[in-house]
Amino acid sequence: SLTMNDNYGVVVYFVEQTFTLTISATSGGTTDPSPGSYTYSYDQQVTITAIPDTGYAFSHWSIDGLISMTNPLTLTMTRDYSVEATFVEAPTATITGTVVNAETNEPIAGATISADNIATTTSGSDGKYSLTVPIGVYTLKATASGFYDWSSTIDVSTEGTYIIDIPMTPMPPPSPVPTSTIKGTVTDQEGNPIPGATVTANGYTTITDAEGKFTLTVEPGVYTVTIKAEGYKEWSKEIDASTAGTYVINPVLERAVAEVKAEFAVGIILLVAVVAAVVYKAGR
């Protein structure tokens, strides 16, 4: 208050009104936002969610001594609040059984069995499995190599043991991959086999054996077959092996020119030597 015995100038200052929300939780769960203290503006709405751990259930909120079972909980910040989430151990059910081959009834080892994202296990060598879950309704799933996936909705809303055997249908064996075979015998122009020749077909490679034989197993397609051997001209031919099957080729390699010339030269020298020997003998 002012006593007006003079002239006065008055400035009024305002500050934002804020309130504190304190959140806590018992063991067995947490909250979103996480437990702690938070400051909010006047009349601001805040939503808190109780999140139970596996094997626990949300029981209630304690709000400054008052009880609420609403989850999520929404508060309007017109004052300070202290809120605690209470969790209790959830009643559980056991799901157990045997995973078997639906056609032979033999147990399946190593199958993965899960109840939603709550619990997962693997079947033993005898195909048996066991899962402990909070009571509720679940999608029970099983997967195993070589078998189609299996799933079923399981209602375990009361405590107890539920026997669920899982028959899994085997997948058919994979179809064989089609192949083509390119084979044959590599010889020289006199019909002699050429061992150790390198045979290639677009990346596939093999070596001829002691009898000049070779075999290449390839995917169906068109190939350029090339054969190389020391002392011989390179041989090449396109083979259309687009249809799975066996394709026989018998390449004949020509001797390299250098070797032919060398052999000719050796022959001339031998001939000259023979003639010289004959002349010498005749002159004696």
- CA 110 – CA 267 distance, rounded (Å): 76
Q: How far is CA 116 from CA 38, 128, 134, in A?
A: 35, 19, 12
5-9, 119-123, 211-215, 252-256: which has the minimum mean pLDDT?
5-9
Find the mean pLDDT for residues 23-50.
96
Q: Which of 1-5, 94-98, 124-128 has the lowest mean pLDDT?
A: 1-5
**Model pLDDT for residues 154-199, shown as the tens digit of each residue:** 999 999 999 999 999 999 988 888 999 999 999 999 999 999 999 9
> Lowest mean pLDDT: which of 32-36, 85-89, 115-119, 127-131?
115-119
What are the boundaries of each domain within the chain? 18-89, 92-168, 180-253, 259-284
Report how far apart, in Å, the C-alpha atoms of 229 and of each of 6, 72, 188, 202, 207 are: 123, 82, 10, 18, 10
How far is it, in rounded angstroms, from Cα 67 to Cα 240? 83
Helix/strand/coil for 69: coil
CB atoms within 10 A of CB 161: 11
Does the pLDDT value for residue 63 go beyond 90? yes
CA distances in angstroms from 247 to 203, 214, 223, listed in the order given: 17, 12, 11
Report the distance separating Cα 220 and Cα 158, nearest Å: 61
> What does the CA dihedral 144, 148, 152, 158 come to, rounded to 10 degrees?
-10
pLDDT of residue 54: 79
Span 66-74, average pLDDT: 96
CATH for 92-168 (2.20.25.90, 3.40.50.2000, 2.60.40.1120, 1.20.120.80): 2.60.40.1120
Share of the chain above pLDDT 90, in %: 77
pTM of the model: 0.48
Q: How many distinct helices (H) and strands (E) make up the chain?
A: 1, 25
Q: What is the mean pLDDT of the chain?
A: 91
Mean pLDDT, residues 57-75 taken together: 95
Residue 212 in tokens: 């000049």
Output the CA torsion 186→189→193→197 (10° steps): -50
Instruction: Classify 191 as helix, strand or coil.
Output: coil
User: In this structure, what DSSP letter does residue 178 have?
Assistant: P
Q: Alpha-carbon distance 221 to 218, whole Å?
A: 8
Do 92-168 and 180-253 have matching folds? yes
Q: Label the pairing between strands 246-248 and 81-89.
A: unpaired
What is the pLDDT confidence band of residue 15, given thresholds at 50, 70 and 90? Answer: confident
Cβ proximity of 183 and 206 under 8 Å = no
Q: Report whether 40 contacts 33 (CB < 8 A).
A: no
Q: Determine the topology of domain 180-253 in CATH.
A: Immunoglobulin-like (2.60.40)
Rounded mean pLDDT, 257-276? 58
